[in-house]
Structure 1
């Protein structure tokens, strides 16, 4: 049994203590180390991704058809046909799965920043390899599919707000899935199970930390919206700091 598994078993039996101020300070100090690098990476790759999607859509649909089909009015949920709703949902699910290993790399960046270790551009794609790739994609697919399915079902009975609340709740209780996979070397289902268990042991403290991190990440919208790329990494730092405070990271379990 690995140190992580032993720690998780102890958490399951005895719970854990987490200090709001210590975790916040750890997350903020870590954020200061990675903010510029992570912000530049997010900005550059977001621009490249938007260009790629735009060029692909123009190539497939043409400018006129793309402008018509992707107009804000047509993209409203109430105006989408059942088939288009499923198509857009499926595309969003696929994109989430494809990008999830890339997003997980920002947790590794936070870890390197915490240890004052060098992080290379190639490390951004380090989780597009087995066994991490399979487990990250499986967990992302399951979480996203469950969220999409319940939101779709509730939208048909006109409970859209409840669907959004449940979607956020699912994201919250699966907050630690990615770090449990990449730092704890857990399988997807096991990581989901332990993430839920950990969150429910101290739900209000962790929720408070996430809300503070979310508000902090939105500061980038003030003045110039481009700043959000440089404040968004605070969420990754907070995720890392929460996991590190609760479970801890054994150097022998990560690459």
Structure 2
């Protein structure tokens, strides 16, 4: 079996083709297996993080931190140049620390696809060597670049452009996390390889990227709490897209083909 980097070289020279319908159906079938469990994990995690953030805010600012006027005052406060840099660094480190947790949903998708048991500990699989360091570095680089660009543009009053650039950074690094955890690449290799793969078939990958995003947020229309159970849909789309391009096992490739054939029937 060719290594991931060898497959990347083949893609760089010859490109690749995947079927949108088969990949989407593969993702949806995978999502149905993990939706309920992942939704409950997100709910519990959100409550814990919310309590921690509230506790830190009260400890640092006092009881007034839970007042709406205080929160609005913070939002309207003009930060100094140094404070902006510290804010960018803090948010970037926080995002980097959460990256292995997000990767845990891909591990859950992988377990479900292979009919293996998964539980809460599955979410913390990548908080250990060698995955944690590479995921942390990768997420930190991307978060620093994205947050710095957004902050610079927002300071000029061009908020929408900053948001658009952040989205495109996410798009071009769509496959970076699975390339680390499944492809065994380091952080820099994963970023570069994701860029190569995406640019070789940008329209189809963008369609899958947008589909994953829309599928993830559509739960907000179900009394908002529904988003807890649809948020992981993007993980299933990312997982299915990765294994539509990089076949680690022949049976995975066959499962995608069988889904496509059943649709034709």
TM-score (norm 2): 0.88
Q: Which residue of 2 aligns with 1:175?
A: 174
Range with greater deviation from structure 2 (15-24 or 1-10): 1-10
Q: Which residue of 2 aligns with 1:71?
A: 71
Q: Deviations over 1:149-184 (max 9, x none)?
A: 111222233322211111110111011111000001
Q: Which residue of 2 aligns with 1:88?
A: 87
> Could you tell me how far apart the structure 2 residues matched to 1:86 and 1:130 are?
30
What are the residue-to-residue correspondences of 1:215-230 with 2, within 5 Å? 215-230=214-229
**Deviation of residue 92 (structure 1)?**
1.5
Q: Which residue of 2 aligns with 1:194?
A: 193
Q: Deviations over 1:93-119 (max 9, x none)?
A: 121011111111100111111111111
Structure 1 portions without partners, runs of 5+: none
Q: Which residue of 2 aligns with 1:127?
A: 126
What are the residue-to-residue correspondences of 1:21-170 with 2, within 5 Å? 21-65=21-65, 67=67, 71-76=71-76, 79-82=77-80, 83-170=82-169
Query: How many residues are paired up?
Result: 249
> Could you tell me how far apart the structure 2 residues matched to 1:223 and 1:173 are?
30
Task: Give the alignment's Cα RMSD to 1 decimal.
Answer: 1.9
Alpha-carbon spacing, 1:16–1:70, altered in 2? closer, same or farther (3 Å): farther
Structure 2 portions without partners, runs of 5+: 251-265
> Could you tell me how far apart the structure 1 residues matched to 2:86 and 2:53 are?
16
> Could you tell me how far apart the structure 2 residues matched to 1:185 and 1:124 are?
18
**Deviation of residue 66 (structure 1)?**
5.7
> Could you tell me how far apart the structure 2 residues matched to 1:112 and 1:104 are?
13
> Could you tell me how far apart the structure 2 residues matched to 1:223 and 1:122 are?
29
SS at match of 1:71: helix
Q: Which residue of 2 aligns with 1:239?
A: 238
Contact 1:15–1:201 (CA<8 Å) still a contact in 2? yes
SS at match of 2:72: coil
Q: Deviations over 1:65-123 (max 9, x none)?
A: 564785135314xx432244334333211210111111111001111111111113222
Contact 1:4–1:248 (CA<8 Å) still a contact in 2? no
> Could you tell me how far apart the structure 2 residues matched to 1:187 and 1:12 are?
18
Q: Which residue of 2 aligns with 1:203?
A: 202
Q: Which residue of 2 aligns with 1:9?
A: 9
TM-score (norm 1): 0.91
Alpha-carbon spacing, 1:182–1:70, altered in 2? closer, same or farther (3 Å): farther
Superposition misfits of 4+ residues, deviation over 6 angstroms: none
Contact 1:112–1:118 (CA<8 Å) still a contact in 2? yes
